[in-house]
Amino acid sequence: MNRIKKGDQVVVTAGKDKGKKGDVLRVAGDKVVVANINIVKRHTKPNPQANQPGGVIEREAPIHISNVMLFNPATGKGERIGIKVLEDGRKLRVFRSSGEAVDA
């Protein structure tokens, strides 16, 4: 079970965007793409088959999952995540500080 999933609100803990908050758009292995975080400029050639114009395009680049923390709205800070196994075998993500379940 991943500690961070698509749609979670996270806080960046390292890098040029440290302290910024955003929603997770994609999770791919140990990398995540967060909305409006780690913006890079990509120079692209026009591709008429894909109806794509050329030029300089700004988009989000992946950031390593270790450089983000799940945002806890109760405390207003990023917090560590633990995984609790229930009696029926289901797994549940919980905040390590309070033990409170993550709404997911």
Domain extent for 77: 8-95
Task: Let me know if 8 is exposed, middle or buried by CB neighbors in 10 A (0-12, 13-18, 19+).
Answer: buried
Considering the entire predicted model, what is its pTM? 0.84
pLDDT at 104 over 60: no
| DSSP single-letter state for residue 30 | T
| DSSP single-letter state for residue 100 | P
Whether 52 is in a domain gets the answer yes
Please state, rounded to an integer, the average pLDDT across all residues of the chain.
93
**3-class DSSP state for residue 92?**
strand
Domains: count for the chain: 1
Whether 80 is in a domain gets the answer yes
Whether 104 is in a domain gets the answer no
Q: What is the CATH number of the domain that holds 39?
A: 2.30.30.30
